[in-house]
Amino acid sequence: MAGSARSGLRIVLLILLIIVLFLGGLLWFDFLGIINVRYRFAPVLKLVGLDTPVKLENADDLLLLDRERLEKQIKALDIRGEGLTGREAGIVLKEAEVQQKLETLAEQEKSLEDRGKSFNDRLKEYEDRSRNLQQASAYFTGMPPKDAVDRLLEMEDQDIIDIFRTTEEIAKAAGTDSIVSYWFSLMPADRAAELNRKMLKKP
């Protein structure tokens, strides 16, 4: 009776040993990549304490790695494209700033040209008027004083004052006496006083 019990125990142990060896062989073949049994025995492996790899969708797809690599490249290109877009926006902004500065410089240059032209025009106008006053002074100085005064009284006060001043400057430059004081003496007293007052007010 005891012998049969021992024999039964041995048989059970042998069966368990065969099962363990069988499972070990399957796991070894799975490790070598010959067969794939880890996913089927995942519950049993968890009980033993062994981790099972996460099952990938389309694991049998031969192009899976290529697809993953392609997706990574696409993501990298997207990131690079975003960077290029940002740089392009910065370049556009810089171009707008440069264009604005160029327009400002062009406006300033045009303003300077206009001011220069205005100055030249005023200078030419002054030179022309100065030349005309010198000619008028010579004309009136060459006339008899009474005739010169009669003609001067027909002119505006400012024109008379300009001719008087020009005549005095010419006389001073030549080192001679000015005839302006004599013209004053031939004028009516009120007109002479008004002209003298204006000349003193704006020397």
**Per residue of the chain (203 residues), what is the pLDDT tens digit?**
556 777 778 888 888 888 888 777 777 777 776 766 665 656 555 555 555 554 545 544 556 777 788 888 888 888 888 888 888 888 888 888 898 888 888 888 888 888 888 888 887 888 888 888 899 889 999 889 999 899 999 999 999 999 999 999 999 998 888 899 899 899 999 998 898 898 888 65
Contacts of 55 (CB under 8 A, 6+ apart): 39
Q: Quote the pLDDT of residue 82.
A: 84
What is the SS3 assignment for 103? helix
Q: Quote the pLDDT of residue 59.
A: 47
CA distances from 44 to 30, 76, 88 (A): 15, 41, 58
Residues found in the chain: 203
Domain boundaries in the chain?
1-55, 57-126, 142-201
Q: Quote the pLDDT of residue 81.
A: 83
Q: Quote the pLDDT of residue 61.
A: 52
Write down the residue that tokens 């910065």 correspond to: 90
Report whether 147 contacts 173 (CB < 8 A): no
Q: Quote the pLDDT of residue 122.
A: 84
Cα(161)–Cα(176) distance, integer angstroms: 19
| Assessment of whether the complete model's pTM goes beyond 0.75 | no
